[in-house]
Amino acid sequence: MIRIKRDNILYKLQMWDTSGDIKYRCIVRTYFRTSNIALFAYDITNYESFASIKEYYEEVIQHSTQFPDHFIAVLIANKAELESQRKVSYE
């Protein structure tokens, strides 16, 4: 965990990489409750990894109760160096 203090406000940053694995879902739900930002990464060479983002996003929104009106979601395209193998379009 990284702690950053700015303007007398303490921010805590924790990153969890669950690889989208179903076995981690029950564990990470407890972290969703106090989250106000989520990073969703997908593999540009794997359309299924992109398609599953919607399900994960909805689950995070459902379980994040502390800041529901100010939640930030960031979508990250991974493996950009494999552009010739891209399965997810830019649209």
Residue 6 maps to a domain: no
What number is the average pLDDT over the span 44-67? 85
Task: Using the predicted structure, report yes or no on whether residue 20 has a pLDDT greater than 70.
Answer: no
Residue 34 maps to a domain: yes
Helices (H), the chain: 25-32, 47-51, 53-63
Q: Which of 35, 87, 86 is nearest to 61 (CA)?
A: 35
Say how many domains are in the chain.
1
Per-position DSSP letters for 58-75, written without gaps between them: HHHHHH--SSGGG-EEEE
Q: State which residues form the domain around 31.
A: 18-85
What would the pLDDT profile of 68-78 be if each residue is shown by its tens digit? 677 788 999 99
CB 79 within 8 A of CB 88: no
Q: Which residue has the higher pLDDT, 3 or 84?
A: 84
What number is the average pLDDT over the span 22-48? 80
Q: Which residue has the higher pLDDT, 10 or 87?
A: 87
CA–CA separation, 55 vs 70, rounded Å? 19
